[in-house]
Amino acid sequence: MLRNGLEPWHLLILAVVVVVLFGSKKLPDTARALGKSMRILKSEAKAMKDDEAR
């Protein structure tokens, strides 16, 4: 049934749904917060790896 996985039109529909749900004004703030969270997660994972190496 889902042999091809995500096709381009799936991504287009997903993008439209996200814009409708969150609105175009909140998207940059949401992306910024997600980026900041990813940086924090990455630095914490690196710190845990460094602690294990000692």
> Angle at which helices 8-22 and 27-53 pack, to 10 degrees?
110
pLDDT at position 41 = 95
Q: Percentages helix, strand, coil for the chain, rounded to the nearest 5?
A: 80, 0, 20
Query: CA-to-CA distance for 36 and 40, rounded, in angstroms?
Result: 6
pLDDT at position 44 = 95
Give the confidence band of 2 by pLDDT, cuts at 50, 70, 90.
low
CA torsion angle 28 29 30 36 (round to 10): 110
